[in-house]
Amino acid sequence: MLSVSDLTLHYGAAQALRGVSLQADAGKVTCILGRNGVGKTSLMRTIAGQHRPSAGTVSFEGKPLGRSPAHDRARLGIALVPQGREIFPLLTVKENLQTGFAPLKRADRSIPAHIFDLFPVLAQMLQRRGGDLSGGQQQQLAIGRALVTRPKLLLLDEPTEGIQPSVIKDIGRAIAFLRDKMGMTILLVEQYLDFARELADRVVIMDRGEIVFSGDAADLDKPDVRRHLLL
Ligand SMILES: Nc1ncnc2c1ncn2[C@@H]1O[C@H](COP(=O)(O)OP(=O)(O)OP(=O)(O)O)[C@@H](O)[C@H]1O
C-alpha cells in the first residue's frame, strides 16, 4: 500500500533521515516509535510531500510518487494529521472541516457523517472558532479534517500529545474503527507506548534518522526491543 525505500532527507547540512525503508500494509496500523528528535515527523512530512527527500522513493499503491507535491498526494488519498494539529484558530469548526474539500471533486465536497459519529463534539461545536476549542477537541477536529479528504492512507503524528485520557480513548476507538470498519491504512507516530501497543499491528522503531527495529506489536514487550525507546 505504502512503501518507503531508502529515504534520505537533509535540512541544509543536517541529515534527518538516513536510508529509511518501511512498508505500511493495507488495512493495518503501523506504528512508528522513537525518542524525541529521531526523525519521525520528518518521515511523515516527507511521505505527505511536504519535504523533498535528497534520495530514495515513496510509492503508494504500487506507483512511485516521485517529486509530486502534497496537494497531489492528498488527491491520491494520503492525508496527514500533523503534530501540533495546525487547525485554523479563527475559522469555525465547520470551516476548518471544509478546508479538507480542497483535493476533492466538486460532487464529493461534503462532510461524511461518520466523522460526527466518531467525534460528536464536532457536531455540537460546528459554529465555534477552532481557537476556542480545547486541545483534545482540536485534535479531533484535525483528524476530522483529514477524514473529510476521504483518505486511503492516514498519517497521524502523535495524536495523543498533550491530550487528556478520555479523549485519548476516543481517538483510539476512532483509529480502530477506521481500520476495522473502513479498511483504512494507518501510519501512526506515537510516544505513548500503551496506546501504540493496543492499536498497532506492526511497529517500527527509529533512532537518529534510521529504522533500528521492525516487527510485531507483541515484540514491544521484549527488553532488547524496548531498549531503543529508553532515554
Ligand atoms: N525544519 C527543520 N529544519 C532544520 N532541522 C529540522 C527541521 N525539522 C526538524 N529538524 C531536525 O531534524 C531532526 C529530526 O526531527 P523530527 O521533528 O523529524 O523528529 P521527531 O522524531 O519527530 O521528534 P519529536 O518526537 O520531538 O517530534 C531533529 O534533530 C530536528 O531538530
Domain ranges for the chain, please list them.
2-229
Handedness of CA 85, 37, 31, 199 (dihedral sign): negative
CA of 181 to the centre of ligand 1 (A): 34
CA of 66 to the centre of ligand 1 (A): 23
CB distance 127 to ligand 1 below 6 Å: no
Nearest CA to ligand 1 atom 3: 11
Q: How many CA atoms lie within 13 A of 93 on its CB side?
A: 23
CA of 41 to the centre of ligand 1 (A): 7
CA of 211 to the centre of ligand 1 (A): 15
CB distance 84 to ligand 1 below 6 Å: no
Q: pLDDT category, 192, cuts 50, 70, 90?
A: confident
Relative to the CA of 41, which ligand 1 atom is closest?
22
Q: pLDDT category, 93, cuts 50, 70, 90?
A: very high
CATH 3.40.50.300 fits 2-229, yes or no: yes
Q: Is the ipTM of this complex over 0.85?
A: yes
b/e code 12-46 from CB counts within 10 Å (16+ = b): eeebbbeebebebeeebbbbbbbeeebbbbbbbbb
The answer to pTM > 0.90 is yes
Contact assessment for residue 29 and residue 175, using Cβ atoms and an 8 Å cutoff: yes
Q: What are phi and psi of 54, to 5 degrees?
A: -85, -20
The pLDDT tens digits for 14-71 are 999 999 999 999 999 999 999 999 999 999 999 999 999 999 999 999 999 999 999 9
Q: How far is the C-alpha of 10 from the C-alpha of 181, rounded, in Å?
A: 38
